[in-house]
Amino acid sequence: MALLRRLFPVLGKHLRKGDCGKIGVIGGSPDYTGAPYFASITPMKIGADLAFVYAHSDAAPVIKSYSPELIVYPSTDFATNRHSIERLDALVFGPGLGRQKHTQNLLADVVNFVRSKQNLCLVIDADGLFFIKECSELFKGCTDKVIITPNHREFVRLYTQMFPNQPKGGDTDKLEIQCEMADQLAKHLEVTVMRKGEIDIISNGSAAQTRLVQADTSMRRCGGQGDILSGATALFAFWARKASGADIYSSEHLLDGAEAASLLVRNASLRTFQAVGRSMNAADVIDHIVPVVRDIDSGLSAKVATITTR
């Protein structure tokens, strides 16, 4: 819990709305409305102040009905949403977005925008990962701005696309080789990679800085857990930057953010499985974020008391 406690902002009456994070999610389509909801409600449950969803017009009313806490825009058009996106601290791209040509063009617009903003980072997951190869040249120099979060199958597909002549195409159960491949992909794309699996591997392309998260978690893999993780990663990357006092993102912030998100979601998933068992779903995991946060906050009580008595 040490990393999580270090990143959690200390609460106090001095705070203003937005200080603890404004997180956006570009996702959602007529077929998929749950994914962007999970990715956006997760930061709110952890402690973000505001969450925005930019969704297909047919999906927006459905997502709005899930929670009054979310600010939902009925469009994924970048030009339409640019003014709102400019005010964000971190952005998630891809949950439930679909794999139409429009998604590729939108990803290019978003990456170019994020490159121009030193105070905004980008987490790419789900359908967004499908177009990484087509947009790969846009990621050059984005190790400190962009995190991609592929699961096993998504990693194998992307690795095979980027390194078609490599044996096994990224499909191996050996941890040492998985780490090497994550480092290789991160270095080649010039982004930070979080390869999700039994052990989460987080790499910025430098083997010396690669992090492994092996904390215990649920034995159940249900749909939506990856969306929860992407939303948590966006928030914790911002909190890592905030904790450091920096105005711009660094590679260290993204590494810390991904590791913290993995730790928290693994803990919440474990508690969910212990309480619900095989019947658990992503909504159950969301509910079990609350006690994890309470436990983390209990370790901050002394810090809060010190600030209060000054």
- Residue-level pLDDT at 304: 47
Q: Which long-range contacts (CB under 8 A, 24 or more apart) does 12-16 make?
A: 12/304, 12/307, 12/308
- Residue-level pLDDT at 165: 87
- Over residues 155-184, the pLDDT tens digits come to 999 999 999 988 766 678 899 999 999 999
- Give me 310's structure tokens: 């000054």
Residue 163: CB atoms within 10 Å: 15
Considering only 21-25, 97-101, 240-244, which range has the smallest mean pLDDT?
Answer: 97-101
- Over residues 41-89, the pLDDT tens digits come to 999 999 999 999 999 999 999 999 999 999 999 999 999 999 999 999 9
pTM of the predicted model over 0.85:
yes
Tell me what the pLDDT averaged over the chain comes to: 95
* Dihedral, 33, 34, 39, 40 alpha carbons, nearest 10: 70
Return binding residues for (6S)-NADPHX. 96, 151-157, 227
Interhelix angle 289-298/251-276, rounded to 10 degrees, is 120
- Residue-level pLDDT at 299: 78
- Residue-level pLDDT at 168: 66
- Over residues 250-308, the pLDDT tens digits come to 999 999 999 999 999 999 999 999 999 999 999 999 999 999 999 999 976 544 443 43
Task: Kindly list the strands in the beta sheet with 22-26, ordered across the sheet, starting from the edge strand earlier in the chain.
Answer: 71-73, 50-54, 22-26, 90-93, 121-124, 146-148, 192-195, 200-203, 211-213
Q: Does residue 309 register a pLDDT over 50?
A: no
Residue ranges covered by each domain of the chain: 2-304
State the Cα–Cα distance between residues 160 and 94, nearest whole angstrom: 20
State the Cα–Cα distance between residues 47 and 96, nearest whole angstrom: 23
Domain 2-304 grouped into CATH 3.40.50.970: no
What average pLDDT does this structure show over 128-145?
97
Return binding residues for ATP. 196-200, 217-226
Closest CA to 119 of 139, 93, 91, 140: 91
- Residue-level pLDDT at 172: 82
- Residue-level pLDDT at 1: 81
State the Cα–Cα distance between residues 237 and 90, nearest whole angstrom: 8
Return binding residues. 96, 151-157, 196-200, 217-227
- Residue-level pLDDT at 301: 56
State the Cα–Cα distance between residues 105 and 39, nearest whole angstrom: 22
